Structures are given as C-alpha cells and as structure tokens.
C-alpha cells in the first residue's frame, strides 16, 4: 500500500486517532517527507510544542516514528530530528487484531463458564457468587436478581471471533 493510500484509509486514520488523540492528529495525519524537528512541526501546524512532542513520542513508542539527536557545536543544545515510519502500520494493526482476538477468546470462555444474574431495574449484572453474597437481591434497588441468559452475547462473540480468525487466517488451535 502506497504512503498516500495509507493516510487516506479510514481504518488507518482511526488507528492514528486512537493513538495520538484529537490534539495529536494533525501531527500524525500530515507527516512530512524526510526529517523534521518538533519545533518546525509545531510552527507549520500551528500547534503547541508540547502537543507535538506528545504525539511524536506516542508515534515513537508504536514504531511509527524515530529520531536522531544532533548536538549544536556552539551552544551544546540537542536537536531532535524526527522521521515517520508509517510502513509499520499494517503490521501494528495485525498485532492489534491478534490482541483483540485473544481478549475475545478469553472473554468468551468467561461468559461460557459463569452463571449470571441481573438486576433489571439497576441494569447490573452479577456473577453467581456475587448474587449469592447479596442474597439474590440488588444492593441498589432491593429488586430480586433474576437468572440471566447470555446466549446472544456468546453467539455474537463467537461470530466476531470467527470473522477475526478468517481475516487473520488463524486456525482454532493456534499457538502464536
């Protein structure tokens, strides 16, 4: 995928927004070619220097930017020259999807192996042991806790897990 295509992809735009937030999005959405200083970015984008630095650091933590330090011979000041590496985005998204799959599989197991009770008026769900501790009465409303079926949630999670496995080309008995 070409660099321009990456930046126009709504999934990638959402990913970048999730990483850097709304204040860092101008930095993430318009990476310059070559090296740039944080001060140059702040001035060019009309942003606060701290917002630019925060976004750059987040991008750095996610392997989407790197820097090199240059010391000024006369003043001794360090200048950080930043380079963007958005070619890593597809791999990062793949890792995020694997983490999501793992979390969903773990949650599915939890949903399958626990019995739940619901306080309809308060909209609070309790595990069996919690419901028992409460005497099967809602601690907020005093209403009786009713057994809750979670079949729809389990079915929905199973479908989503299957979609993710298909998308990631992952078998059920994977070890990665």
Residue 40: give the domain boundaries: 3-84
Burial of residue 52, with CB atoms counted within 10 A of its CB: 0-12 exposed, 13-18 middle, 19 or more buried: buried
Residue 32 and residue 81 in contact, taking contact as beta carbons nearer than 8 Å: no
Q: Is position 99 within any domain?
A: yes
**Per-residue model confidence as pLDDT tens digits over 136-154:** 999 999 999 999 999 999 9
Q: How many domains does the chain have?
A: 2
What CATH number should be reported for the domain holding residue 47?
A: 1.10.10.10
Pairwise CA distance, residues 45 & 66, whole Å: 19
The tens digit of pLDDT for each residue in 33-74 reads 889 999 999 999 999 999 999 999 999 999 999 999 999 888
pTM, 2 dp? 0.66
User: Which of 55, 84, 113 delimits the end of a domain?
Assistant: 84
């Amino acid at each position: 995928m070409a660099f321009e295509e990456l930046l126009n992809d709504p999934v990638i735009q959402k990913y970048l927004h999730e990483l850097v937030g709304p204040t860092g999005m101008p930095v993430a959405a318009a990476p310059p070619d070559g090296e740039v200083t944080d001060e140059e970015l702040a001035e060019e984008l009309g942003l606060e220097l701290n917002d630019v630095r925060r976004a750059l650091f987040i991008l750095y933590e996610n392997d989407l930017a790197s820097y090199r330090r240059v010391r000024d011979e006369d003043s001794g000041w360090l200048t950080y020259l930043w380079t963007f590496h958005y070619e890593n985005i597809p791999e990062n998204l793949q890792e995020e999807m694997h983490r999501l799959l793992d979390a969903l599989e773990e949650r599915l197991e939890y949903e399958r192996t626990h019995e739940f009770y619901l306080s309809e008026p308060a909209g609070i769900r309790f595990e069996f042991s919690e419901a028992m501790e409460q005497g099967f009465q809602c601690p907020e409303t005093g209403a009786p806790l009713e057994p809750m079926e979670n079949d729809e949630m389990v079915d929905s999670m199973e479908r989503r897990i299957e979609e993710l496995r298909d998308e990631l080309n992952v078998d059920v008995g994977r070890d990665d």
